[in-house]
């Protein structure tokens, strides 16, 4: 029984075919699973492992390396306040303190109603608009303690729903083309290649032994 819903599962299978080795789809599939659940549920982690040909532990081990992949639930809106050097010079620490007191959580925490997770971010590469804030990885323009509360109000009221998709939805543009040929043909070719590679590796190691 698939944990990923039919449409997500189908997109996941398509993604796997784009790569010469299916493990490469691991991070894109984690993003997809988060699009469905908002975070990486253990069932999703297992299924990604099956799709990528690795164990669930390897998926989790990889996912925990990356800031954007969550192995625990986060709020509907992940509010990332950059405090790195350019934003620091633009008053980021003051904004972070303000955000913490307004939301009533420390950086890293989620509000009890599950709406907001506050994240102290590293540089988000929009440094001419300080203090740089992203909500669900969408830029919301330069922020200050004066503008921040209105931003939260807009988010709560759904006024930014168009600009800020739900947490986990990274990319709304789908690849319009698959590989140039039928997915099954690609899979068969890849299996043949892998077999040949294994055979070559065996031959090479055999040759090595002979030399020794």
- Residue 106 in the binding site for other proteins (CB under 8 A): no
| Whole-number Cα distances in Å, 13 to 6, 30, 63, 127 | 11, 13, 19, 37
* Cβ pair 50, 109 in contact under 8 A: no
Which among 5-13, 54-62, 104-112, 143-151 is the span making contact with other proteins, rule CB under 8 A?
A: 54-62
Is 104 or 171 the residue whose CB approaches other proteins more closely?
171
Contacts 24+ apart (CB under 8 A), 90-96: 90/130, 90/131, 90/142, 91/130, 91/131, 91/144, 92/130, 92/131, 94/145, 95/131, 95/133, 95/143, 95/144, 95/145, 95/148, 96/120
- Residue 110 pairs in a beta bridge with 117
Is 100 or 126 the residue whose CB approaches other proteins more closely?
126
State the Cα–Cα distance between residues 27 and 62, nearest whole angstrom: 8
- Residue 123 in the binding site for other proteins (CB under 8 A): yes
- Residue 31 in the binding site for other proteins (CB under 8 A): yes
Total number of residues that touch other proteins (CB under 8 A): 51
Q: How many CB atoms lie within 10 A of CB 125?
A: 10
Q: Which residues in the 57-76 window bind other proteins by CB under 8 A?
A: 61-63, 65-69
Tell me the two tokens of residue 110. 């989620």
- Residue 78 in the binding site for other proteins (CB under 8 A): no
Q: In angstroms, what is the minimal distance from the CB of 112 to other proteins? A: 26
When binding is defined by CB under 8 A, the residue of 127, 147, 183, 190 that contacts other proteins is 127
Q: Which residues in the 146-185 window bind other proteins by CB under 8 A?
A: 170-177, 179-180
Applying CB under 8 A, which residues contact other proteins? Answer: 18-21, 23-28, 30-31, 52, 54, 61-63, 65-69, 83-86, 88-89, 122-128, 130, 134, 136-139, 170-177, 179-180
């Amino acid at each position: 029984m698939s944990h990923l819903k039919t449409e997500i599962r189908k997109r996941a299978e398509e993604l796997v075919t784009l790569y010469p080795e299916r493990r490469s789809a691991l991070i894109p599939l984690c993003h997809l699973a988060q699009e469905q659940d908002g975070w990486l549920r253990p069932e999703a982690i297992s299924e990604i492992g099956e799709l990528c040909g690795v164990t669930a532990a390897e998926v989790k081990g990889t996912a925990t390396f990356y800031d954007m992949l969550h192995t625990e639930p986060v709020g509907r809106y992940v509010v990332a306040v950059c405090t790195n050097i350019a934003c620091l010079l633009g008053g980021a620490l003051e904004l972070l303190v303000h955000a913490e007191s307004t939301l009533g959580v420390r950086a890293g925490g989620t509000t009890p109603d599950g709406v907001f997770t506050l994240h102290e971010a590293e540089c988000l590469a929009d440094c001419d608009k300080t203090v740089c804030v992203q909500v669900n990885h969408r830029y919301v323009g330069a922020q200050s303690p004066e503008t921040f509360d209105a931003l939260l109000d807009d988010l709560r009221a759904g006024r930014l729903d168009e600009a800020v998709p739900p947490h986990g939805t990274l990319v709304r543009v789908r690849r319009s083309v698959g590989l140039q040929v039928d997915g099954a043909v690609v899979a068969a070719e890849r299996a043949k290649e892998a077999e040949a590679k294994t055979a070559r590796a065996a031959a090479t190691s055999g040759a090595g032994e002979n030399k020794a």
